[in-house]
Structure 1
Amino acid sequence: MKTASSLPRSARPGGRTARTASAVHEAVLTLIAERGRDGLTMKEIAATSGVHEATLYRRWRDVDTVILDAATARIIRDLPIPDTGSIRGDLLGWVSAASADLARPGGLALFEALIRADVRGQGGDVDTVRRRELAQLYREHRSVQLQNAIDRARSRGEVVPEVEVLLDRIMGPIYARAVLGYRRLDVALVDLVESALRINGR
């Protein structure tokens, strides 16, 4: 398992470049929240962000890449897995924040961007490969955060399943609720966490 310090990183330099990225990310997420992703154009993003359209094409090349970069950057920054002192508290804090984020206007942007990125695909043009790398970076970063929470819990003597099991048992149902709309996102989250923590059915 990679540590947080060993993760591959997309370029996040400071100064003007960072300000440009921040303005573009904010513009993209605002536009998606207001009117959805369909039909979003580089021209609209440029007008809303105040960043020249040529700069957008030079750095991101297309709308799908901008959306994925903006969504992953915001999720990593704003929705970390908390350290509450217990794995139950950590997971409940995480799933509560994730559920609230999915429920807000435009909240499915990251999920949709990850699907479009085809994380497990192979080949493709340079833009397809770049989107896949961004999606893989997000997955690895989130997995490292979750593994850190698991390691903390085990050091306290708590019994915790592996990362993949927790993702299956927690985020799988939450995304299914968000996509299919068969149940409110914020219902029975404690039960979801308790179910995720059961080992061998116990």
Structure 2
Amino acid sequence: MAETRPGGRTARTREAVHAAVRALWAEGRDPLTVREVSARSGVHEVTIYRRWKNVEALALDVAVTRMNEQSPFPDSGELRRDLIDWARSVADRVDTREGFAFYRAIAAATASHGAGHGPATEAAAIHLRRRTDQIQQVLDRAAADGAPRLTVEHVFDVVLAPIYLRAIFGYSTPGMDLEVLVDRVLTTP
């Protein structure tokens, strides 16, 4: 993915395209097409394809950027409270059209990661790795202070997976029993 210059044309183009994707998601437009994003953003389709290669890579870039900018993992020093706050944030987000579209973008990109979507997908994968590393650092600090030693994978399996499954299959609300999920992750190896 090309480096962005703060305030430059690349930054303005990226922001216009990102805003268009978020607006389309908020309206329930998912999956998206490059043509829709182009029409909404005013950025030519060729420019979008040149920068992101395909709509999946674009959606992933928007999703990861939004996640990193708006949803930092809490780090108050009280692990249980931080996990509950994070789980609530995820549940609230996935319970919206835009939030569910975000989830779909992450899932689609992850499922097709081996298909080689180019630099945009690789850059988003780097951002996702930074995110999981950030969460693992919080978990490691908490363990050093006496909390149970947890891995990101274990937290995702026990806390995050049920939230997403509830959103996908609708058998209960995504935010139901979050404290139970967090307590479960804190008491199981």
CA distance in 2, matches of 1:58, 1:129: 11
CA distance in 1, matches of 2:21, 2:166: 25
Matched, 1:51 2:51: no
* Deviations, residues 4-57 of structure 1 (Å, cap 9, x unaligned): xxxxx984442222222122111101102203213x322321222232333212
Q: What amino acid is aligned across from residue 146 of structure 2 in structure 1?
A: G
* Counterpart for residue 14 of structure 2: 21
* Deviations, residues 58-92 of structure 1 (Å, cap 9, x unaligned): 21122222111111110111111011221111111
CA distance in 1, matches of 2:2, 2:78: 31
Retained in 1: the 8 A contact 2:61–2:121?
no
CA distance in 2, matches of 1:120, 1:43: 22
CA distance in 1, matches of 2:90, 2:14: 23
* Deviations, residues 139-183 of structure 1 (Å, cap 9, x unaligned): 312211211211221232222322221111111111111111111
State the superposition RMSD in angstroms: 2.2
Indicate which of 55, 72, 89 corresponds to 2:64. 72
Which of the pair is proportionally richer in helix?
A: 2
Q: TM-score, normalised by structure 1?
A: 0.82
* Counterpart for residue 111 of structure 1: 103
Alignment of 1:67-146 (within 5 A): 67-118=59-110, 122=114, 124-125=115-116, 128-130=117-119, 132-146=121-135
* Counterpart for residue 155 of structure 1: 144
Q: What amino acid is aligned across from residue 190 of structure 1 in structure 2?
A: E
Moved beyond 3 Å, runs of 4+: 9-13, 118-122, 129-132
Q: TM-score, normalised by structure 2?
A: 0.87
CA distance in 2, matches of 1:12, 1:92: 35
CA distance in 1, matches of 2:2, 2:83: 27
* Counterpart for residue 60 of structure 1: 52
Q: What amino acid is aligned across from residue 184 of structure 1 in structure 2?
A: T
How many pairs were matched up? 188
Retained in 1: the 8 A contact 2:84–2:182?
yes
Provide the identity percentage. Answer: 36
Retained in 2: the 8 A contact 1:170–1:192?
yes
SS of match in other structure, 2:149: coil
CA distance in 1, matches of 2:59, 2:159: 25
Unaligned runs of 5+ in 2: none
Indicate which of 167, 173, 186 corresponds to 2:156. 167
CA distance in 2, matches of 1:120, 1:64: 9
Retained in 1: the 8 A contact 2:68–2:131?
yes
Retained in 2: the 8 A contact 1:67–1:113?
yes
CA distance in 1, matches of 2:30, 2:186: 36
CA distance in 1, matches of 2:112, 2:148: 31
Retained in 1: the 8 A contact 2:58–2:120?
no
